[in-house]
């Protein structure tokens, strides 16, 4: 449909893309339309609408200050597990999407690789049969039959806990300052390299 939409817009038609399943530009082919319109130099506007990722995040009760959105992971088990492994050291809350027929496999992989963490799974968000389960990965694995395999899922997982990270931020800062880095650049470098929260590193820099 994208070539047809582009053609119609060039002919002066006004077109609106709407959906009854979340925001069409997030983890959706609507984003491909946006890219093509930009490539063609065609102006378009985005109207605020429901995004399941943010709705699920707020419903989870987990940290909303810093979070990362990964959307759908791979359908292939080995690749999906590798993708989860890449997420294990993130301090931020993690938001994923999953289809109903793969939700149980994903939960098992998450618990196996990330360990036991707080988690929230929501399905059918903003619809009549909306449901959110707030639990832990270990408890979900023990009761997989309690998960209804219907509707698209938003999975929100707590980030790696501070006590699980063995990094002395003060030593890292002092080392970079000794190398001639400014405090601002030292903070930025440590946040990026060690995937730490900016506020935490910044507060440590004020103590030096």
Decide which of 3.40.50.1700, 2.40.10.220, 3.30.950.10, 3.40.50.2000 is the CATH code for 52-161: 3.30.950.10
pLDDT confidence band for 67 (50 / 70 / 90): very high
In the chain, domain spans? 2-39, 52-161, 167-207
In the prediction, which pLDDT does 126 show? 81
pLDDT digits (tens, 9 = 90+) for 155-194: 999 998 865 555 688 888 898 999 999 999 999 988 887 7
Work out the percent of the chain whose per-residue pLDDT is above 90.
Answer: 58
* Alpha-helix residue ranges (DSSP H) falling in 70-181: 77-87, 103-114, 137-142, 169-178
What residues contact 201, with CB distance under 8 A and at least 6 apart?
169, 173, 187, 190, 191
**pTM over cut 0.85:** no
- Kindly report which listed range (54-63, 109-118, 159-168, 187-196) carries the lowest average pLDDT score: 159-168
Q: Is the pLDDT of residue 26 over 90?
A: no
């Amino acid at each position: 449909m994208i070539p047809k939409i582009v053609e119609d817009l060039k002919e002066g038609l006004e077109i609106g893309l709407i959906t009854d399943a979340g925001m069409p530009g997030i983890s959706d082919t609507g984003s491909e339309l946006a890219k093509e319109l930009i490539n063609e130099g065609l102006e378009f506007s985005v109207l605020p609408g429901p995004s399941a990722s943010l709705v699920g995040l707020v419903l989870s009760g987990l940290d909303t200050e810093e979070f990362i959105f990964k959307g759908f992971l791979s359908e292939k088990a080995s690749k999906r597990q590798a993708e989860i492994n890449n997420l294990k050291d993130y301090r931020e809350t993690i938001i994923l999407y999953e289809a109903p027929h793969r939700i149980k496999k994903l939960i098992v992989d998450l618990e196996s690789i990330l360990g036991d963490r707080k988690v929230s799974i929501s399905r059918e968000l903003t619809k009549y049969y909306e449901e959110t389960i707030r639990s832990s990965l270990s408890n979900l694995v023990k009761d997989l039959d309690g998960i209804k395999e219907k509707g698209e899922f938003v999975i929100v997982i707590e980030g790696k806990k501070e006590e699980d990270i063995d990094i002395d931020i003060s030593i890292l800062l002092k080392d970079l300052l000794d190398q001639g880095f400014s405090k601002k650049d030292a903070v930025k470098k440590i946040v990026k390299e060690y995937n730490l929260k900016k506020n935490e590193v910044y507060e440590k820099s004020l103590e030096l």
